[in-house]
Chain A
């Protein structure tokens, strides 16, 4: 079976496509090159077989590059995208990056530029989608922490999961402190370890950091693992209904702790029923959420404004954040006195922590 990566080049100029084909055939990984002179045919090709990279021109008749990229981002989120254009305009560069392109490259006019482009492209082809904690494959955060402690290291871990950020301090193999989202010590450590995936980086050690954790790493890891098990699987003898109830109580507690009024969560499937915490009007609110999500997506594509990140709304009684994600859309309500500049980040954190 041919395991070479596939690259699709989209440009309305057939002479250019020929030129690209020739250049890209020099790549060390010898990718399979396909070409298209218009957006519609490019879409058909992308539907028909999996491609690794799309190289797209901007100025094209009928469907321009920004339109193509906006559709591609929604329908083929795994596809790497490169804009290769002669348009030297900062607005279009920013808009292309806002659409999530991996690389914006002016059409090369020298051999040196071309060589640099080929190197970038080869690097993009080589990058695989990663799961778990980026940096060390097939290792959980618990494994990584245990390894650090066993090797008597002194370091600070900075762990990021979406908008959530946590830090864990290790000094001479001892866990001394943890911090995330206003929590510190053991509570913060447990919260961070509940995150199933994310990225981490190691920072220089901070020997002066105040010690808040005195338990051994192994004892804490064991306790945390048990707590995670209890949340994710029903307690012995507990019915599914009781487990659901326990989860709901936990979510309501988080909601109250964060100062939020209510949350409605609507799966992205058309007929799916909403779930709600803190309100009885889930069905009514879900009808608006469904309407708003579709209308805004339509508008974004029409204007070529890129994907929508959220809607911030308000009335006299509350402030609202409508937050789309891959599988669901959430409507989060905050009291009218909440700080408008913070409720988007707070809503994201709340929803992410529920998913963790």
Chain B
């Protein structure tokens, strides 16, 4: 029992993966979002900016893209080009089972 008490100490919370969608304008600013408000805003802004930049850099390379999907081990980011901006979908890829 002594061991069990040791394990019960309070700990900082772990950050869950973002899930939802957002629309982003051509400057990488988030226009609308369905991602939980508890998720850090600065990280979402970074996602938005990087996505818009990826589309812009592809255009510069004469490889204009209409859509891309980034496959991470535990998250998929799908982005569709929309008038210079983008619609972004964040979908956790981990299989969560409930016993």
List chain A positions with a Cβ less than 8 A from chain B.
12-13, 15-16, 19, 58-61, 64-66, 86-87, 90-92, 94-95, 98-100, 107-109, 281, 284-285, 287-288, 291-292, 295-296, 298-300, 302-316, 320
Q: Hey, which chain A residues are within 8 Å of B43, CB to CB? A: 302-303
Chain A to chain B contacts (Cβ below 8 Å), 12 pairs:
A59-B12, A86-B8, A109-B3, A295-B54, A306-B74, A308-B72, A309-B72, A312-B68, A313-B65, A313-B69, A314-B66, A315-B66
Q: Contact check, B74 vs A302: say whether CB atoms are below 8 A apart.
A: no
Q: A90 touches which one: B63, B64, B97 (CB < 8 A)?
A: B97
List chain B positions with a Cβ less than 8 A from chain A.
3-4, 6-9, 11-18, 43, 46-47, 50, 53-54, 57-58, 60-75, 77, 92-98
Q: How many Å lie between the Cα of A4 and that of B28 in the bound state?
A: 52
Q: Hey, which chain A residues are within 8 Å of B65, CB to CB? A: 313-315, 320
Known: A299-B46, A303-B17, A306-B72. A316 touches B63 (CB 8 A): no
Among all A-B residue pairs, the 7 with the closest Cβ atoms:
A306-B73, A98-B73, A94-B94, A59-B11, A305-B72, A313-B68, A305-B75
Q: How many Å lie between the Cα of A61 and that of B74 in the bound state?
A: 22
Q: Hey, which chain A residues are within 8 Å of B61, CB to CB? A: 281, 284-285, 287-288
Q: Contact check, B14 vs A287: say whether CB atoms are below 8 A apart.
A: no
- CB of A210 to closest CB in B, whole Å: 39
Q: How many Å lie between the Cα of A304 and that of B96 in the bound state?
A: 17
Q: Hey, which chain B residues are within 8 Å of A310, CB to CB? A: 71
- CB of B15 to closest CB in A, whole Å: 6
Q: Contact check, A308 vs B95: say whether CB atoms are below 8 A apart.
A: no
Determine the main DSSP class of A at the interface with B: mixed
Q: Hey, which chain B residues are within 8 Å of A95, CB to CB? A: 17, 73-74, 94
Q: How many Å lie between the Cα of A311 and that of B54 in the bound state?
A: 11
Known: A109-B3, A295-B53, A303-B47. A285 touches B63 (CB 8 A): yes
Q: Hey, which chain B residues are within 8 Å of A302, CB to CB? A: 43, 46
Quick one: which of B54, B95, B98 has the most chain A CB within 10 A?
B54
Q: Hey, which chain B residues are within 8 Å of A91, CB to CB? A: 16-17, 92, 94, 96
Q: Contact check, B13 vs A59: say whether CB atoms are below 8 A apart.
A: yes
Quick one: which of A281, A303, A304, A310 has the most chain B CB within 10 A?
A303
Q: Contact check, A291 vs B63: say whether CB atoms are below 8 A apart.
A: no
Quick one: which of A90, A299, A306, A314 has the most chain B CB within 10 A?
A299
Q: Hey, which chain B residues are within 8 Å of A284, CB to CB? A: 61-63
Q: Hey, which chain B residues are within 8 Å of A312, CB to CB? A: 68-69, 71
Q: How many Å lie between the Cα of A63 and that of B33 in the bound state?
A: 27
Quick one: which of A100, A309, A315 has the most chain B CB within 10 A?
A315
CB closest chain-B residue, reference A95: B74
Q: How many Å lie between the Cα of A59 and that of B77 in the bound state?
A: 26
Q: How many Å lie between the Cα of A300 and that of B97 in the bound state?
A: 24
Q: Contact check, A303 vs B18: say whether CB atoms are below 8 A apart.
A: yes
Q: How many Å lie between the Cα of A310 and that of B12 in the bound state?
A: 32
Q: Hey, which chain B residues are within 8 Å of A298, CB to CB? A: 50
Q: B67 touches which one: A100, A306, A314 (CB < 8 A)?
A: A314
Q: Contact check, B60 vs A288: say whether CB atoms are below 8 A apart.
A: yes
Q: Hey, which chain A residues are within 8 Å of B98, CB to CB? A: 90
Q: Contact check, A305 vs B73: say whether CB atoms are below 8 A apart.
A: yes
Q: How many Å lie between the Cα of A312 and that of B9 in the bound state?
A: 44
Q: Hey, which chain A residues are within 8 Å of B77, CB to CB? A: 299
CB closest chain-B residue, reference A319: B67
CB closest chain-A residue, reference B98: A90
Known: A86-B7, A91-B94, A306-B73. A313 touches B50 (CB 8 A): no
Q: Contact check, A316 vs B92: say whether CB atoms are below 8 A apart.
A: no
Q: Contact check, B14 vs A305: say whether CB atoms are below 8 A apart.
A: no
Q: How many Å lie between the Cα of A91 and that of B15 in the bound state?
A: 11
Q: Contact check, B68 vs A64: say whether CB atoms are below 8 A apart.
A: no
Known: A86-B8, A299-B46. 20 other contacts (CB 8 A): A61-B12, A66-B14, A87-B14, A90-B94, A94-B94, A95-B74, A108-B3, A109-B3, A109-B4, A109-B7, A284-B62, A284-B63, A288-B61, A291-B53, A295-B53, A296-B50, A303-B17, A305-B75, A308-B71, A311-B71
Q: Hey, which chain A residues are within 8 Å of B63, CB to CB? A: 284-285, 288, 315, 320
